[in-house]
Amino acid sequence: MQQLIFATNNSHKLKEVAAKIEGKIKLYSLDDIGCYDDIAETGATFHENASIKSHFVHNKYKLNCFGDDSGLEVDALNGEPGVYSARYSGKPGDHTGNINKVLKKLGDTTNRKARFRTVISLIWDNKEHFFEGVIEGTIRHEPSGTKGFGYDPIFQPDGYTSTFAELSLEEKNNISHRAEAIEKLLAFLATV
């Protein structure tokens, strides 16, 4: 079985990705390989940040690996929080603070259109490949649901009446931005 490092320690992301590639690829996290470095996300785009993560791990361990960067883009906020999704409120990983900031900035705005985007940078046999996934939706006026992570409680995917945080892992994994990017990565790996 092919082996691949996922340059993350985000347990939610790991769970989502592991569910997608189980039985096809043996996946290792940064914890699994004993990598405890703080990889600074200093890029201005999802592509740059995904690339920083994959190159850091590849340069250090010389293993096939991928990094991802993802976030929420809200049309009425000119694409914010974008690459700042994880630290929008100022405190990294403060999901409640991030959600409150989006809701406050949006106020009663009627244009609630938004999307999640994931970009994956895979380094396979010393070459970099990008894969992207997008899910369109709208921002609710109030959070709802307890599953998932991040902005899931305020994001309602188009065609659904539930937020991401009200869907099961399996339901989210059928349609999410990350799932789409991972499916493209798997399709690529099936050809090498």
38, 69, 94, 158: the active-site residue = 69
Toward ligand IMP, which CB reaches closer, 18 or 190?
18
Q: Is 69 a catalytic residue?
A: yes
CB 83 within 8 A of CB 67: no
The site that binds ligand IMP (CB under 6 A) totals a number of residues, namely 19
Toward ligand IMP, which CB reaches closer, 71 or 143?
71
The answer to whether 120 contacts ligand IMP (rule: CB under 6 A) is no
| DSSP codes of every residue in 44-65 | SSHHHHHHHHHHHHHHHH---E
User: Hey, is 161 helix, strand or coil?
Assistant: coil
d(CA 66, CA 186): 12
d(CA 139, CA 111): 9
The answer to whether 69 contacts ligand IMP (rule: CB under 6 A) is yes
Q: Could you tell me the smallest distance in angstroms from the CB atom of residue 70 to ligand IMP? A: 4
Give 116's strand partners: 72, 135
Q: Could you say which of 74, 150, 157, 167 contacts ligand IMP (CB under 6 A)?
A: 150
**Sequence-ordered list of residues with C-beta below 8 angstroms from that of 100, at least 6 positions apart, any chain:** 89
Toward ligand IMP, which CB reaches closer, 64 or 73?
73
d(CA 135, CA 148): 15
Toward ligand IMP, which CB reaches closer, 56 or 116?
116
Q: Which residues are catalytic?
A: 69
What does the binding site for ligand IMP look like in residue numbers (CB under 6 A)?
A: 10, 41, 68-72, 85-86, 98, 116, 148-152, 164, 176, 178
